[in-house]
Amino acid sequence: MTATNAVAQSVGSIPQPIRPGHGGTDPGPRNVMRDIQNPDMLVPPATDSGTLPNLRFSFSDAHMRLESGGWTRQVTVRELGISKAMAGVNMRLNRGGVRELHWHKAAEWAYMLYGTARITAVDAQGRNFVDDVSTGDLWYFPSGVPHSIQGLGSDGCEFLLVFDDGEFDEDNTFLISDWFKHTPPEVLGKNFGVPAALFGHTPDPSARYIFAGTVPGPLSSDRIAGAASVTQPFSHRLMAQEPIRTTSGTVRIADTSNFPASTTIAAALVEVVPGGMRELHWHPNADEWQYYIEGEARMGVFGASGQARTFDYRAGDVGYVPFAMGHYVENIGTTPLRFLEMFKSSRYADLSLDTWMALTPPELVEAHLNLDPQVMGALRKKVAPIVPATNPT
| Options 167, 294, 341, 366, the catalytic residue | 341
| Co-location of 256 and 231 in the same domain | no
Q: What is the per-residue pLDDT across 58-102, written as a single tens digit (0 to 9) for each?
A: 999 999 999 999 999 999 999 999 999 999 999 999 999 999 999
CATH code, 341: 2.60.120.10
| Co-location of 207 and 246 in the same domain | no
Mean pLDDT of 363-386: 85
Q: Residue 376 is inside which H or E element, if any?
A: helix 373-378
84-93 burial: b if 16+ Cβ within 10 Å, else e: bbbbbbbbbb
| Co-location of 67 and 22 in the same domain | no
Residue 8 binned pLDDT confidence (cut-offs 50, 70, 90): very low
Mean pLDDT of 327-337: 97
User: Are 148 and 100 a contacting pair, CB within 8 Å?
Assistant: yes
Residue 381 binned pLDDT confidence (cut-offs 50, 70, 90): confident
State which of 236, 264, 284 marks the end of a domain. Answer: 236
Q: What is the per-residue pLDDT across 13-67, written as a single tens digit (0 to 9) for each?
A: 799 999 999 999 999 999 999 999 999 999 999 999 999 999 999 999 999 999 9
Instruction: Give ∠ CA 3-328-254 in degrees, rounded to 5.
Output: 145
**Any idea which of 61-70, 108-117, 139-148, 202-211 has the lowest mean pLDDT?**
202-211
Residue 12 binned pLDDT confidence (cut-offs 50, 70, 90): low
Q: DSSP secondary structure string, 33-58?
A: HHHHH-HHHHS--TT-BS-PPP-EEE
How far is it, in rounded angstroms, from Cα 308 to Cα 287?
17
| Angular region, 333: left φ>0, alpha ψ -120 to 50, beta rest | beta
| Co-location of 109 and 227 in the same domain | yes
Q: Residue 132 is inside which H or E element, if any?
A: strand 128-134
| Co-location of 219 and 367 in the same domain | no
**Residue 351 belongs to domain spanning:** 241-388
CA distances from 310 to 47, 84, 281, 286, 329 (A): 9, 21, 15, 20, 10
| Co-location of 115 and 186 in the same domain | yes
| Co-location of 284 and 335 in the same domain | yes
Name which residue leads in pLDDT, 154 or 386: 154
Q: What is the per-residue pLDDT across 303-312, written as a single tens digit (0 to 9) for each?
A: 999 999 999 9
| Co-location of 293 and 172 in the same domain | no
Overall number of domains in the chain = 3
State which of 236, 261, 293 marks the end of a domain. Answer: 236
Asked if pLDDT for residue 390 goes beyond 70, the answer is: no
Asked if pLDDT for residue 205 goes beyond 70, the answer is: yes
**Residue 204: what pLDDT?**
87
Confirm whether 52 is domain-assigned: no
| Co-location of 264 and 328 in the same domain | yes
| Co-location of 227 and 87 in the same domain | yes
Asked if pLDDT for residue 389 goes beyond 90, the answer is: no
**Residue 1: what pLDDT?**
36
**Residue 388: what pLDDT?**
66
How far is it, in rounded angstroms, from Cα 199 to Cα 363?
78
Calculate the average pLDDT of the chain. Answer: 93
Q: What is the per-residue pLDDT across 340-367, written as a single tens digit (0 to 9) for each?
A: 999 999 999 999 999 999 999 999 999 9
Q: What is the per-residue pLDDT across 135-151, written as a single tens digit (0 to 9) for each?
A: 999 999 999 999 999 99
Mean pLDDT of 188-207: 93
Asked if pLDDT for residue 2 goes beyond 60, the answer is: no
Mean pLDDT of 170-183: 94
Among the listed residues 109, 54, 91, the one whose alpha carbon sits nearest the alpha carbon of residue 319? 54
Confirm whether 51 is domain-assigned: no
| Co-location of 142 and 288 in the same domain | no
For 197, phi then psi, to 5°, come to -65, -15
Asked if pLDDT for residue 5 goes beyond 80, the answer is: no
Residue 127 binned pLDDT confidence (cut-offs 50, 70, 90): very high
Residue 239 binned pLDDT confidence (cut-offs 50, 70, 90): very high
| Co-location of 205 and 183 in the same domain | yes
Asked if pLDDT for residue 6 goes beyond 60, the answer is: no
For the question of residue 341 being annotated catalytic, the response is yes
